[in-house]
Chains A and B, each alone.
Chain A
Amino acid sequence: MKLKESLFTRRQFLNGLMGGWLGALAVSFLYPVLKFLFPPTPEPEQVILPLADYRDIASNSVKQFAWGSKPGYIKKADDGTLVAFVAVCSHLDCTVSYLADQRKFFCACHDGWYDENGTNIKGPPPKPLRRLVLAIEGENLVVKREGKA
């Protein structure tokens, strides 16, 4: 099918080609700039803690640990098992606290509540607290990202 008229003039074509190529060059300069300005903050694959520091905490209490740059809690349940959470509220990233008498996690920023297993029960938090995989290896407590054995 032959067109009756050109879609654009030679001038428009060349101008477009030049402008487009200049734009492409500019964007290719922009890419490393953006990579620089948005560096990745990777979470750790695992965190190794001394078991002795966490073994003897009281039941129904939490102790903080560093999950990369985020706060984490190791919680001892009534039966003595240890559980690890990322202590970041799923609403707007505030650090939650554990109220032992109420057996609930509480976020003071916007009155968000989680039960003792980290499930969101009241207030704005849309999701439960993130749970991490905990394993005891010799003298160490190894905390890994969820989904990793």
Chain B
Amino acid sequence: MNIKKVSAGIQAWFEERLGLSAILDFMKEKEVPQNKHTIWSYTGSLILLFFGIQVVTGIMLAFFYKPTLELANKSIGRIMTEVPLGWIIRSVHFWSATFMIAIVFVHLLSIWIIKSYRRPRELTWMSGVFLLVLSLAFGFTGYLLPWDDLSLAATKVGTDIPRSIPWVGVLATKFLRGGDDISGDTLSRFFTFHVCILPLCILAVLCLHVYFIQKQGMSLPLGAEEKGEGRRALPFWPNFIWRETIVWLVFSGLLITVAVFLPPSLGKAADLMAPAPSGIKPEWYFLFLFQTLKIFPPKILFVNGDTIAVLVIFAGVLLFFLLPMIDDKPEERKGKIITLCAYLFMIYAVAMSIWSLLD
């Protein structure tokens, strides 16, 4: 029984029916340009790695989690104390969320600064903005699921914010909460979003995003095409893949180490009637938005301050979404200002987050 012959035979059998060697051929043809920006091309697949870890650990947690008012907190307590190594799985899920969203921001900023969204990659950017929103939605919905004091308070505040949008705001809050107030129905709803609706949405948008990237190839830095520089590039397979494997190994190792030594604890079950605990804070990736809302005065002229704040944030997100259309002359002054905006946004977000923590 020659193993080589057998495996070649099996491969040929699948090849005749599936034709998957086309994928490997494509990967061999695909090239990753080598320049000072190449390091940022690792961020995309890293997000995918952490997302995969989230799906696996999430499914494992869902085997034991019970999404009802009475049992949510208790079931997580059980996962942490009775189920073998449950506390590690929960910790990995918690930290992988942080890692994933952190790398999403790094990825976003790198694309913004390198301006990879230039023609013809506008749709890649726009699908990426959707992915950002979906990732944050994952974080927001997941945060409620332990149903402890802090997560209930954070969700109360978070679902109250859309209310300040004129006309549709109240409906949005009602939809998120499953009613006017937070209740067991809110928990069921958030659980359904977190494990069913959002995964389906993010998978669909992710497929689009990845398809666009493969279709259009990796972008070159600004001006490289015009300068006609000798293109130093790496084949995707195997050169880039080996490098990517190193990055994946290191980051997985860091994730496991952090998860083992800094696992999250669980507060006591939330009491819907209790007053809000002190020191409510959303997850770190919402801190800068939270602080932005806080600094707006209660009333500006005749309009509710919160309404203006929310509308300003919405306008910002819309501009962000349309960035490729706005930055149509990337090498000229407008383009340089937009690059500056990226750095300003970074500084703003970090500063507001730190301020929010110290507050």
On A, residues with C-beta under 8 Å from B are: 32-33, 35-37, 39-40
Contact = CB atoms under 8 A, between A and B. Distances in A.
A39 B60 contact: no
Contacts of A39: 82-84
Contacts of A33: 56, 60, 89
B276 to A, nearest CB: 35
B85 interface: yes
B60 A32 contact: no
21 contacts: A32-B84, A32-B85, A32-B88, A32-B89, A33-B56, A33-B60, A33-B89, A35-B84, A35-B85, A36-B60, A36-B83, A36-B84, A36-B85, A36-B86, A36-B89, A37-B60, A37-B63, A39-B82, A39-B83, A39-B84, A40-B84
Given A32-B85, A33-B56, A33-B89, 5 more contacts: A32-B89, A33-B60, A36-B84, A39-B83, A40-B84
A42 B83 CA distance: 12
A111 B71 CA distance: 39
Interface in B282-317: none
Interface string B84-106: 11101100000000000000000
Contacts of B89: 32-33, 36
A15 to B, nearest CB: 12
Main secondary structure of the interface of A (DSSP, over half): helix
A59 B89 CA distance: 52
B3 to A, nearest CB: 13
A37 B59 CA distance: 10
A35 B84 CA distance: 6
3 closest Cβ pairs, A-B complex: A35-B84, A32-B85, A39-B83
Contacts of B86: 36
Interface in B132-152: none
Nearest to B56: A33
A39 B83 CA distance: 6
A33 B63 CA distance: 12
A36 to B, nearest CB: 6
A37 to B, nearest CB: 7
A42 B192 CA distance: 32
Contacts of A32: 84-85, 88-89
Contacts of B88: 32
A60 to B, nearest CB: 40
Nearest to B252: A29
Contacts of A35: 84-85
A40 B84 CA distance: 8
Contacts of B84: 32, 35-36, 39-40
Contacts of B56: 33
A40 B83 CA distance: 8
Interface string B53-87: 00010001001000000000000000000111110
A36 B85 CA distance: 6
Residue in A32, A36, A37, A39 with the greatest tally of chain B CB atoms within 10 Å:
A36
Interface in B27-62: 56, 60
A142 B89 CA distance: 38
Contacts of A40: 84
Residue in B56, B82, B84, B89 with the greatest tally of chain A CB atoms within 10 Å:
B84
Nearest to A32: B85
A108 B357 CA distance: 64
A36 B89 CA distance: 8
Nearest to B61: A36
Contacts of B60: 33, 36-37
A39 B82 CA distance: 9
B78 to A, nearest CB: 10
A75 B83 CA distance: 35
A33 B88 CA distance: 10
Contacts of A36: 60, 83-86, 89
